[in-house]
Every structure is written in C-alpha cells, then in structure tokens.
Structure 1
Amino acid sequence: MSASVMFWEHFSVGQEWTHHRGEALDEDEIIAFAKQYDPLYIHTDPVRALSGPLGMHCASGVHTFAIAQRMLCDALFSMTHVVAGHRIDSFIMHRPVRPRDMLSLTVEVMNAMPHARRDDCGWVTFAITVLAAGTGRVLTYDLTVLIGRARWKRQPNR
C-alpha cells in the first residue's frame, strides 16, 4: 500500500473532513436513478410530482445516500484501509434534495476503538452530514466501519 493510506491509528475523535460534489444534481440524473432503483412518481415524473404529497420533484433518499457514499469515498475512504462496513445508525432525511441542489458532505470521527477479537483492525464511527447549499442539512447518519491497523501480527489459522 502507498504511504498515503490511512489506517485505524490515524483516526481520533473530533477529526473532520469535508467534500463538495463538483456539480449540481440534475433532473435527468434524478429520473435515471429513480427509474432503476426507486421508481416512485415523485422521483420519476417531474410534472406529476408537483401535485404529489411534497409538491415538488425530488431525488430518492436512496439516491442521496448513494451520492453521500461517493463523496465519502472521494473525501476519505479511497485513501483508507477499509476492511468492511458494519452498521448505519440514526439515518435521518431532513428535507428533499431537488434538481440543481449543490451537495456537500462533512465527516466527523465520533469514536475509535480496537476490535475486541482481532488485533489487525479497529472500529471507527463517523457522523455524516450531507448539506445542500443554501438550505442546510438534507441527510445525517452515523456509520461504523472496520479499518485495518498499520501494524499487526497475523495469527496462524487455527
């Protein structure tokens, strides 16, 4: 692995990262994602969505989460020795994401603790906040990930 890879030892409570998506979410992207993964009319039909319960065309929450995962990888995970995801807690969609929203992500380390049975990795819990420019939070959740340690002793197979 390259020297720029981050391991469990590199994470401490309170550390923060941010990432800005380079482009606004566009209507065609919202529709294409929704047709494949969440084909509700409020996501696939901009005209009909105006008369729906939200009164607007918006992205699926699943789509917003997928964008958040990409931003998280771009900001941090692509240079981290991630072993596996573990859990997502406190998943809250605060408001709909609309076409032309510019999204950004803030990641904060909430907890870092060694794995109880493995000395080659440890747990890190991140607080994730997705923001839309000018309107604030759109999605928040806590994500716990298993991250490899920089130095570890490989145990023989038993």
Structure 2
Amino acid sequence: MSAEFQTFFEDLVQGETHKFGQYEVKRDEVIDFARAYDPHEFHLSDEAAANSHFGRLSASGWHTCAMTMRMMVDQMHEKGLASMGGAGVDELRWMAPVYPGDVLRVESELLEKRRSRSRPEMGLIRRRNTVFNQENRAVMSFLVTGMIALRDPSAPFED
C-alpha cells in the first residue's frame, strides 16, 4: 500500500459515526445529469416539474447518489482511508426530494467490520449512510459494504 494512506482497516472502530460533506445542488448540474442519465421531464423542465408531485424541478435520485459518492470519496481522501473499492449497496431509499439550492451532507455509521478470510489483504466494513439537506431532513439512506486494506495482512485473525 502507498504511504499516502493513514487509515487502515485496523484503525476503524465499529459504532463510530462521522459527519461530513457540504455539496450545494446546482440547477445546471440537475438538468445536465437528467439529460444524460434520467430524462424524466420533472428533472428537466420547470413546467413539467410544477405539474408533478415534486412541485418544482428536482434532482434525480441517481444524481443524489452521485453527489453523495463525491462527498464520500472526498472524505476518504481527507482521512487517507485505504479504500479498495466497494462491494455493494443495499436498502437504498430516496426519502425526500432534492432541489437545486439544497446543501447536502452525510452521516455515516460503521455498523460492522470483519477481516476477509479469502483475501487476507483486506477487511470488509458495512456502513449506514444517511444524506441530509440544509434543514436536517433526511433525503436518502443506504447501506454500503466497503473493502479496506489492512495495515498488516500477516497479523493473526482475532476470533
């Protein structure tokens, strides 16, 4: 592993919660993302959105995922986390619309961690991530399984 990493699997503490990120949702990004990946009219047009259950232009849930991913990777880089990627997402829920002008942030709780028996160089972690807007309203939540490098893969397993 590169010396740039400062936080390894062994350093992570089950139960810890981290709060991070500040992503302002921009109108042009909402429209550009929707045009490329989720072209529902309520993500593209003020008139169509006004006549929808959203009431105004809203971000795609997939765009909310992408903005959240950006905040998560920025946090990993800031903390020097020895991330080896992700293994999956479960229980993804879009709980409230996200609108241009909203400012998003993340709260992430480490639910569990375990060493991989088949890949001794890594451990697996499971986090619950909740995304909030500027009003502290939860707009999205999901569970993520991440792969994190061990500082010392030769260390014995703790049972």
2:127 maps to a residue whose letter is F
Please state how far the C-alpha of 1:120 moved relative to its aligned partner: 1.0
Q: Is the 8 A contact 2:50 2:57 kept in 1?
A: yes
2:153 maps to a residue whose letter is W
Residue in structure 1 matched with residue 124 of structure 2 by the alignment: 123
After superposing the two structures, state which structure 1 stretch, 43-52 or 60-69, moved more. Answer: 43-52
Residue in structure 1 matched with residue 39 of structure 2 by the alignment: 39
Q: Is the 8 A contact 1:84 1:147 kept in 2?
A: yes
5+ long unaligned stretches in structure 1: 154-158
Residue in structure 1 matched with residue 104 of structure 2 by the alignment: 103
Alignment: residue pair count: 152
Q: Is the 8 A contact 1:19 1:74 kept in 2?
A: no
Please state how far the C-alpha of 1:149 moved relative to its aligned partner: 0.3
How many angstroms apart in 2 are the aligned matches of 1:60 and 1:106? 20
Q: Is the 8 A contact 1:125 1:145 kept in 2?
A: yes
5+ long unaligned stretches in structure 2: 155-159
Q: Is the 8 A contact 1:15 1:109 kept in 2?
A: yes
Q: Could you give the per-residue CA deviations for residues 111-143 of structure 1, whole angstroms, max 9, x where no partner exists?
A: 000112222111011110100011510000010
SS at match of 1:151: coil
How many angstroms apart in 2 are the aligned matches of 1:60 and 1:52? 14
TM-score by length of 1: 0.89
How many angstroms apart in 1 are the aligned matches of 2:136 and 2:119? 43
How many angstroms apart in 1 are the aligned matches of 2:137 and 2:63? 18
Residue in structure 2 matched with residue 48 of structure 1 by the alignment: 48
How many angstroms apart in 2 are the aligned matches of 1:101 and 1:64? 11
1:150 maps to a residue whose letter is R
Q: Is the 8 A contact 1:17 1:76 kept in 2?
A: no
How many angstroms apart in 2 are the aligned matches of 1:36 and 1:130? 23
SS at match of 1:74: helix
Identical amino acids, percent of aligned pairs: 25
Please state how far the C-alpha of 1:25 moved relative to its aligned partner: 1.1
Q: Is the 8 A contact 2:76 2:83 kept in 1?
A: no
Residue in structure 1 matched with residue 71 of structure 2 by the alignment: 71
How many angstroms apart in 1 are the aligned matches of 2:128 and 2:53? 30
4+ residue segments displaced more than 3 Å: none
TM-score by length of 2: 0.88
